[in-house]
Chain A
C-alpha cells in the first residue's frame, strides 16, 4: 500500500472516530457554522467535540505548518483529507476569515514572531477576524481609500498610529475581535502609501453598525475608526502591520486573490453543484413536475455546474503546484459567482410560490428567498464581475489599455 493510501485509510478511520453524525448533516443556517472568537459559543456538544478534535489534530488548518497550529499536510494529503471529509459530508470544524484570508497573508508576508503570535489563536479559533477594505467612497476603486493613520512618535507611551476613517461592508465586524485593515499612511503616494494594519476591535474609538440587506440579514457592517490608537508594535518582532509600512497594497492584492478564490466556491464538491434532481424531487413533494423548458434550463445549468466543479479541482491542483496563472482567481471568482446567482434563480423558479415565503416554518424562515437575494452580493463583494473581467483582460489576455 502506498503511503498515500495509508494516509487515506488513517484519515478515514480518524474521521469515523471523531466526526459526530450530527456534524455530517448539511449546514441548515448560520448557527450551524462555528466561527470561533472571544464571544463564541457552541450550538451543540457535537459541534464542540468536532471542533476540539480538529484543533488537537491541526485539522482546522490542515495545510499550515504544525508550529502554527496546522497539521503540516502537503498538497496531496490535504486534497485527500478534503475528499474524505466531503465523502461523509463533514462540516468544516471552524469557519474564519483568519483562516481564509489573514492566515495566508501572514504566512507569506509576516515575521516569524508575528506568525507565532497571530496564527496559533486563529487555528485554535480563539480570535475572530474581520476585514477592513472597502470605504464609502472606495468600492471598485479600492486604492483610493482614505482612512488615515497618523504616525505619532511617543517615547513615553510608545510609538503608535492614530487612525481615523470609515470602513464599509466589513463582514461580521460586530462579532469580530480584531480587524485587518487597509490604512493610508502616505497621502502623496497612491499605491505605495497604504499600510496593512492589525487592530484590536476592543480599542477605544472603534464602533460598528450592522447594515440591513435586502435579504433581511446583516452579515456586513459599517466600521468607524475615530482617533483609534494603534501601537506600532505588539511585542518583540511583532509590528502592527503585515509587510512593510506603505507596502500594504501588495498584501491586499495577494489577499484579494484568496478572497476571490473563496467566494468562487472552488472545491465546493460535486454533489452540491448539480441541482436538477433535487428540484424534481422538490416538485414531486407537492405532486408537481418540472416544466419541460425549466427542466432544459436546469440541465444546461447542471452541465455548467459540474464542469465548474472540475474547474475548481483543476484550479486548486494547479495553485498547489504553483502552476496556476496568478490572475486565475479572478476568473474563478467571476465564473463561480455568476454560476451561483444562476443556481438560485433556477431554485426560485423551481420552488414556485413556496420559495416566496419570507417567514414560514416550511421554508425555515424564508431560506430560499433570502438565500437567493444573498447571492446577488456574490458578484459585487471582493471585486465586481466587471472588475474581474477587467483584470482578466489586462493580466491574462494582455489586451491593450486594460
Chain B
C-alpha cells in the first residue's frame, strides 16, 4: 500500500480539516472552555457534532453501529484535533476505550457503544499509576468477591476521568506488580461506589484525575474480555492510542510550524521580514524536514496496524518517539522565533507548547519509546 491517503481518505481529511478549522478552533474551544474554567475542559456540543459526522464510532465495526474504519482514518481526525488544539474525548473514548470494548461481551457493547456512537457518552482510561507511563507495572488490585470483584488502588493521569461515564481500568487479578500476566480490564461505571476522583487541571488546560478505588464493588460482567487476559487487550489499546497520539502530535507540530512560518513572513525588524534572515530560515527548514519525517512514520505505523502486521508494535514506538521529538522542536522553535510575543497568552504559539508537553507524556514519552525500540531490537 502506498504511503499516502487513498481517495476516500483524502476526502475524509478534507471533511475533518474543514470541520475542525470551522467548529473546533482555539477561540471557540480551547480558550473558551479554559477561560470559563469548565470542569470538563471540552465541549459536549462539539462531541455531538463529531458523532453526527460518524467520527465517534469510526473505529467500531459496522455490526456494532460504527463505520468500520481503520487507524489511518482515526489519524486523519486526530491530526486536525492536534492542529486546532481542539479539546475532545475522541482519543480516550473513540480510540482507546473503543479498542477495549471491541473485546467486550455483546451485553457490554450494548451497554456502552450506542452512547459513544451518539456522542452522549465519554470514556476514560485508567492505566498509569506513577508519574511516568509504566504499563508493565500494574499494582492496582481486583480481588474476587462473591460473583464479582473488589477493586483497590489508585491511578494517575486519567484524562477526562471525572467527566467520564465509564472508565476502562487496568487492574491486577493475579501475580506480582511487574508480571506481564494477571491483568484484567474492567469497565467501571461513573456511579460506582467508593471511586474517588481528584480532578487536576493540567498545563494544557485539560483536566485529568488522580482516581482512588477504595474497594469498588464490580459485577462479573464488568470484566472486558477474560479474567487475567487483559494484557493483550491493553497492548492493543496502547498500540492504537500511541499511534493516535502520534497523529495528534503531527497536527500540533504542523499547526505550530505554520503559525511560526507565517509570523516569520510578517514580523519586521531591521527594516525587513525576519524570515529573510538565514539564521531563522535554516532552522525553519530543519523543522519542516523533521515534521515531514514524523508524518511519514506515523502513516506507516497506522497502515501497519490496519494490516495487522507484527511490526506495528515496533513502529508504534518509533512513531510516538519521532513525533515527540519533532513536535517538541516545533513548539520550542515556535516560541523562540515569535520572540517576546511568544511568551504572551494572547498569541497561540504558547498553547501549542503546552499541549505538546501533555501529549508527550501521554502513553509514553520519547525516552520511554526509544528505550522500547532498543529493547524490541535486541539491545
Contacts from A to B (Cβ < 8 Å): 76, 79, 274, 276-277, 279-280, 290, 295-296, 298-300, 302-304, 306-308, 310-311, 313-315, 317-318, 320-321, 323, 328, 331, 334-335, 386, 388-390, 392-393, 396-402
B3 touches A313 (CB 8 A): yes
B261 touches A399 (CB 8 A): yes
Query: When chains A and B are docked, how far (Å) is the Cα of A209 from the Cα of B313?
Result: 52
Q: Return B253 CB to nearest CB of chain A, in Å.
A: 13
Residue from the set B272, B288, B299, B369 with the largest chain A CB neighbour count within 10 Å: B288
Q: Return B136 CB to nearest CB of chain A, in Å.
A: 17
Q: Return B221 CB to nearest CB of chain A, in Å.
A: 42
Query: Which single member of A298, A313, A390 contacts B300 (CB below 8 Å)?
Result: A313
Chain B, residues 116-141, CB within 8 Å of chain A (1/0): the string is 00000000000000000000000000
- Interface assignment of B275: CB less than 8 Å from any CB of chain A: yes
Q: Return A342 CB to nearest CB of chain B, in Å.
A: 13
A397 touches B261 (CB 8 A): yes
Query: When chains A and B are docked, how far (Å) is the Cα of A261 from the Cα of B379?
Result: 31
Query: Which single member of A296, A304, A335, A400 contacts B273 (CB below 8 Å)?
Result: A400
B265 neighbours in A (Cβ, 8 Å)? 398-400
B293 neighbours in A (Cβ, 8 Å)? 304, 307-308, 310-311, 335
B322 touches A401 (CB 8 A): no
A307 neighbours in B (Cβ, 8 Å)? 293-294, 296-297, 318-319, 322
Contacts from B to A (Cβ < 8 Å): 2-4, 261, 264-265, 272-273, 275-276, 278, 281-282, 284-286, 288-290, 292-294, 296-297, 299-300, 314-315, 317-319, 321-322, 325, 366, 369-371, 373-374, 377-379
Q: Return A231 CB to nearest CB of chain B, in Å.
A: 43
A303 neighbours in B (Cβ, 8 Å)? 317-318, 321-322, 325, 366, 369-370, 373
A402 touches B281 (CB 8 A): yes
Q: Return B48 CB to nearest CB of chain A, in Å.
A: 35
A331 touches B276 (CB 8 A): no
Across the A-B interface, the 8 shortest Cβ-Cβ residue pairs:
A401-B276, A392-B285, A314-B3, A310-B300, A307-B297, A280-B379, A393-B281, A317-B2
Query: Which single member of A76, A317, A390, A398 contacts B278 (CB below 8 Å)?
Result: A390
B366 neighbours in A (Cβ, 8 Å)? 300, 303
Query: Which single member of A302, A392, A393 contacts B373 (CB below 8 Å)?
Result: A302
B281 touches A390 (CB 8 A): yes
A399 touches B321 (CB 8 A): no
Number of A-B contacts (CB under 8 A): 144
B370 touches A300 (CB 8 A): yes
Q: Is the interface of B mostly helix, strand, loop or mixed?
A: helix
Q: Which residue of A lies closest to B290 (CB)?
A: A335
Query: When chains A and B are docked, how far (Å) is the Cα of A246 from the Cα of B289?
Result: 34
Query: When chains A and B are docked, how far (Å) is the Cα of A279 from the Cα of B377?
Result: 11
Q: Return B274 CB to nearest CB of chain A, in Å.
A: 9
Q: Return B299 CB to nearest CB of chain A, in Å.
A: 7
A311 touches B275 (CB 8 A): no
Q: Which residue of B lies closest to A399 (CB)?
A: B275
B321 neighbours in A (Cβ, 8 Å)? 300, 303
Q: Is the interface of A mostly helix, strand, loop or mixed?
A: helix
Contacts A318-B4, A402-B276: A389 and B285 contacting too (C-beta < 8 A)? yes
28 cross-chain CB contacts under 8 A:
A79-B2, A276-B377, A295-B374, A299-B373, A299-B374, A302-B370, A303-B318, A306-B315, A307-B293, A307-B294, A307-B297, A307-B319, A307-B322, A313-B300, A317-B4, A318-B4, A320-B2, A321-B4, A328-B292, A331-B285, A334-B285, A334-B286, A386-B282, A388-B285, A389-B281, A390-B282, A393-B284, A400-B275
Q: Return B248 CB to nearest CB of chain A, in Å.
A: 17
Query: When chains A and B are docked, how far (Å) is the Cα of A334 from the Cα of B289?
Result: 8
Q: Return A294 CB to nearest CB of chain B, in Å.
A: 10
Residue from the set A307, A396, A399 with the largest chain B CB neighbour count within 10 Å: A307
B289 touches A331 (CB 8 A): yes
Query: Which single member of A279, A334, A399 contacts B281 (CB below 8 Å)?
Result: A399
Query: When chains A and B are docked, how far (Å) is the Cα of A19 from the Cα of B293?
Result: 33
Query: When chains A and B are docked, how far (Å) is the Cα of A311 from the Cα of B291?
Result: 10
A313 touches B296 (CB 8 A): yes
Query: Which single member of A295, A318, A389, A397 contacts B379 (CB below 8 Å)?
Result: A295
B315 neighbours in A (Cβ, 8 Å)? 306, 310
Contacts A298-B374, A400-B265, A401-B273: A310 and B296 contacting too (C-beta < 8 A)? yes
Query: When chains A and B are docked, how far (Å) is the Cα of A59 from the Cα of B2?
Result: 22
Q: Which residue of A lies closest to B321 (CB)?
A: A303
B278 neighbours in A (Cβ, 8 Å)? 390, 402
B300 touches A314 (CB 8 A): yes
Query: When chains A and B are docked, how far (Å) is the Cα of A352 from the Cα of B250?
Result: 37
Q: Which residue of A lies closest to B303 (CB)?
A: A310
Contacts A307-B296, A335-B293, A393-B284: A302 and B3 contacting too (C-beta < 8 A)? no
B296 touches A399 (CB 8 A): no
A276-B377, A307-B294, A313-B3 known; 12 other A-B pairs, CB under 8 Å?
Answer: A76-B2, A296-B370, A302-B370, A302-B374, A304-B322, A307-B293, A317-B4, A321-B4, A331-B289, A399-B276, A400-B273, A402-B275
Residue from the set A295, A390, A396, A400 with the largest chain B CB neighbour count within 10 Å: A400
Query: When chains A and B are docked, how far (Å) is the Cα of A334 from the Cα of B281?
Result: 14
Query: When chains A and B are docked, how far (Å) is the Cα of A280 from the Cα of B377?
Result: 10
Q: Which residue of A lies closest to B286 (CB)?
A: A389
Q: Return A306 CB to nearest CB of chain B, in Å.
A: 5
Residue from the set B265, B278, B285, B296 with the largest chain A CB neighbour count within 10 Å: B285
B379 touches A298 (CB 8 A): yes
B297 neighbours in A (Cβ, 8 Å)? 306-307, 310-311
Q: Return A211 CB to nearest CB of chain B, in Å.
A: 29
B296 touches A311 (CB 8 A): yes
Query: When chains A and B are docked, how far (Å) is the Cα of A373 from the Cα of B301?
Result: 34
Q: Which residue of A lies closest to B311 (CB)?
A: A270
B4 touches A299 (CB 8 A): no
A386 neighbours in B (Cβ, 8 Å)? 282
Query: Which single member of A277, A308, A313, A389 contacts B378 (CB below 8 Å)?
Result: A277
Query: When chains A and B are docked, how far (Å) is the Cα of A400 from the Cα of B268?
Result: 11
